Amino acid sequence: MKNTSYYLNVGEFQCIVVSDGNISVPKSSSPLSQTENEKTTYEDMDISCLLIKAGKRNLLIDTGCGDGFQESAGKLVTNLITEGINPEDIDTVIYTHGHEDHAGGTFDVNGNPVFPNAKYVVIREEWQC
C-alpha cells in the first residue's frame, strides 16, 4: 500500500501531509491548447491536504474532493482517522482556493459539515466568486 501521509516539523508545529486519494484529469487542462489526443487522454493527479498540529489546535489546509467526486478520491477523513484525528478534532479549516479538489470535502453527501467544530477561513476574492 502506498504511504498516504508525510511528516514535517516546522518549529513547534507538526505538519502532516494527508492524502485524499487521486483523481483522473485531462492531460491538458486548457481546452484551447488541447490536441485531439489530449481531449481523451487522462492522467492521475494526487490530492493532499495539510494538517497542522499547533499545541491543542488542529488546522486543516483544504478539504480535498469529498465523497462522490471520483471513486479514487474522498479518502481524507479515513486517512485523518488513521493519524488519530477525528473530524470533530479539526478546529480551523483554511482554503487555499475554491476549486472542488480543494474545497469539495467541506460537506458530506447529506449536506452536513464534515468538520463540524471548525471555523472556516477563505480569502474574500474566493468567497465572492
Nearest to 90 by CA among 127, 53, 48: 53
**CB neighbours of residue 80 within 10 Å:** 25
pTM as predicted: 0.80
Over range 97-126, report the average pLDDT: 87
Nearest to 77 by CA among 52, 55, 102, 108: 108
Q: pLDDT tens digits for 47-70?
A: 789 999 999 999 999 998 877 776
CA separation for the pair 62, 94 (Å, rounded): 6
- Residue 104 is predicted with a pLDDT of 82
Q: How confident is the model at residue 36 (pLDDT cuts 50, 70, 90)?
A: low
Helix and strand element counts for the chain (H, E):
4, 6
Give me the domains of the chain, ranges plus CATH numbers.
5-25+41-127 (3.60.15.10)
